[in-house]
């Protein structure tokens, strides 16, 4: 603008210079609010996606647990089944054949102990920690769903039950099977 004012015959274009300044100011004024909205919205969108994945994982663990109970009582002759067996019997969604669903990996482990007691445990772990989920989940034949932020590692029966507050007594007995009466 200064050059145009001093030497209008050489530089000219005063209107174009003003238009350029106005557009520059408008772009700065419009970018700042968009940046603020994005800074607020993007983390909320990612958090809601993680929450949806965790909700889906909880539902999937409950479905697998129900399928294990049905399999054990009707098809398995008192034994629990693997993911493949549950799918073969039509008790769970075939998309779980690979052990993955909605950002979580699922594994079923069949267990025995010294009394030849057959059991199972199902673990759900985020595929990508902090991106697809934060908490890992665990459920076994007791039906108690446990959850914990284990930095992407699996949950176990040592984690707190889902929904238990900090007042939950961790020293409680973790083995819920029937005990002999003396």
Q: Is residue 3 part of a domain?
A: no
How many whole angstroms separate alpha carbon 127 and alpha carbon 118? 29
Domain of residue 81 covers: 8-182
User: Quick one: 125 exposed, middle or buried, by C-beta within 10 A (0-12, 13-18, 19+)?
Assistant: buried
Q: Is residue 30 part of a domain?
A: yes
Q: Is residue 114 part of a domain?
A: yes
Q: Is residue 147 part of a domain?
A: yes
> Rounded to two decimals, what is the model's pTM?
0.72
| Total number of domains constituting the chain | 1
Per-residue pLDDT of the chain in tens (182 residues, 90 and over written 9): 677 777 777 766 677 778 888 999 998 888 888 989 888 999 999 999 999 999 999 999 999 999 999 999 998 778 899 999 999 999 999 988 889 999 999 999 998 777 666 899 999 999 999 999 999 999 999 999 999 999 999 999 999 998 876 555 554 445 555 555 55
Q: Is residue 2 part of a domain?
A: no
Tell me which DSSP letter residue 154 carries: P
Q: Is residue 1 part of a domain?
A: no
């Amino acid at each position: 603008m200064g050059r145009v004012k001093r030497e209008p015959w050489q530089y000219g274009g005063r209107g174009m210079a003003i238009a350029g300044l106005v557009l520059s100011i408008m772009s700065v004024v419009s970018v700042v609010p968009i940046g603020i909205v994005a800074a607020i919205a993007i983390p909320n969108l990612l958090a809601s996606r993680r929450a949806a994945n965790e909700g889906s994982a909880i539902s999937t663990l409950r479905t697998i647990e129900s399928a294990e109970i049905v399999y054990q009582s009707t098809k398995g002759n008192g034994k629990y089944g693997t993911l493949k067996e549950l799918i073969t019997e039509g008790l769970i969604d075939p998309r779980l054949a690979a052990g993955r669903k909605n950002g979580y990996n699922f594994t079923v482990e069949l267990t025995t102990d010294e009394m030849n007691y057959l059991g199972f445990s199902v673990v759900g772990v985020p595929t990508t920690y902090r991106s697809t989920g934060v908490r890992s989940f665990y459920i076994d034949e007791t039906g108690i769903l446990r959850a914990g932020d284990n930095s992407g590692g699996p949950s176990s029966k040592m984690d707190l039950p889902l929904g238990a507050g900090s007042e939950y007594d961790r020293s409680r007995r973790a083995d819920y099977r029937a005990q002999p009466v003396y």
